[in-house]
Structure 1
Amino acid sequence: MDHEHDHGMIMSPPPPSSSPPSMTMGHSNHNMMMMHMTFYWGKNGEILFSGWPGTRTGMYVVALVVVFLLALLVEWFAGSRLGKRDGKGVVPILLRTLVHALRMGLAYFLMLAVMSFNVGIFIVVIVGHAIGYWIFGSGKDGTEDPGFPH
């Protein structure tokens, strides 16, 4: 091995797996969880929290609705007057900072939901952001989005 170009990165092959698109994680044989590594269709899985939504269709629908509403909320925060740059002083700056922190936290939360690789979740996040932007951020209040030339 050429030690001048090694850079300390020694990699071993991954352990054998009977199901390549997912990875088994857990602490014991009776507490196993499948983590998908590719997009999949289906209601069975875990999104954000252990055991949620599980295998129940109703809970999967609830998960889709919650994730959709979170995407709308992110766009509402992005387009709301609370996050605009009017007002100087400590209180307006703290309010803008709080709104920004909430928006970023929710955006990362949605990113983690999409990382479940569930196609339904991916679709509702995209649709939620699109509808939220259309309702809250498309310049309907008289301001124009600088990202779109006229």
Structure 2
Amino acid sequence: MQVSNSMSFHISVEEIILFDGWVVSDWQGVVGSMVGIILMAAIYEGLKNYREYLFVSASALYQGNGKCPTKQPSMFSGIHLFQTFLHMIQIVLGYFLMLIFMTYNVWLCIAVTVGGAIGYWLFAWRKASSDITDCCN
């Protein structure tokens, strides 16, 4: 019986990462890719925290002094359109990181995890809320 190891963790240096043009076949390629992936994951965390900061800022603007809002929220407001654009970027980065993790290459999985931890450490130390329910990052 032949067992396929396509869905198991491995430590190979030969990997196709996201695109046919992003191929590594030696340690230099793996380490360089790890650096890029760490940066991608840290940027993802930074973007996520920046969006939360914008949300809290916009909420304060709409709540005003607590008695009457200073502005009414709108689907077509500049801040909401900007938040929507940032959300699209966050979705793409999140799926890229998920697909990189799903290569099951241990080195790339470590890079995603370390990048997320570094990004959280850099950007979430003054978190505006205590919401820890973000299961999918």
**Are 1:71 and 2:41 counterparts?**
yes
Q: Give the TM-score normalised by the residue count of structure 1.
A: 0.67
Percent of residue pairs identical: 31
- Cross-structure match for 1:24: none
1:41 to 5, 11, 20: 11
Alignment of 1:1-80 (within 5 A): 17=2, 20-21=4-5, 36-50=6-20, 52-80=22-50
Offset of residue 39 of structure 1 = 0.5
Query: Are the aligned partners of 1:77 and 1:83 in contact in 2 as well (CA < 8 Å)?
Result: no
Q: Give the TM-score normalised by the residue count of structure 2.
A: 0.73
**Are 1:127 and 2:114 counterparts?**
yes
- Cross-structure match for 2:131: 146
Higher-helix-fraction structure: 2
> Which of structures 1 and 2 has the bigger CA Rg?
1
RMSD: 2.3
Give CA deviations for 1:62-104 in whole Å, capped at 9, x if unaligned.
1111111110011010111576221545111000111111111
Instruction: Point out 4+ residue stretches in structure 1 off by more than 3 angstroms.
Output: none
Higher-strand-fraction structure: 1
Mark the runs of 5 or more structure 2 residues left unpaired by the alignment. Answer: 62-72
Task: For 1:51 and 1:97, locate their aligned partners in 2 and report how far apart those are by CA, in whole Å.
Answer: 30
SS at match of 1:84: helix
